[in-house]
Amino acid sequence: MKIDNAKIIDLPKVLDDRGNLSFFQSMDHVPFEMKRVYWIYDVPGGEKRGGHAFKEQHEFIIALSGSFDVVLFDGTDEKTFSLNRSYYGVYVPNGLWRHIQNFSTNSLALIVSDMAYSADDYIRDFDEFKKFKHG
Q: Which residues bind ligand TYD (CB under 6 A)?
A: 36, 38, 40, 49-50, 52, 117
Catalytic-role residue among 29, 52, 58, 99? 52
Give the count of beta carbons closer than 10 Å to the beta carbon of residue 43: 21
Would you say 13 or 52 has its CB closer to ligand TYD? 52
Q: How far is the CB of 121 from ligand TYD (least distance, A)?
A: 10
99 is catalytic: no
- Residue 22 or residue 57: which is nearer to ligand TYD going by CB? 57
CA distance 54 to 31: 17
| CB-count burial class (<10 Å; 0-12, 13-18, 19+) for 96 | buried
Whole-number minimum distance, CB 50 to ligand TYD, in Å?
4
For residue 46, what are the contacts with CB-CB under 8 A and spacing of at least 6?
A: none
Closest to ligand TYD by CB, 13 or 104: 104
Name the pairing type of β-strands 59-65 and 88-92: antiparallel
| Residues classed as catalytic | 52
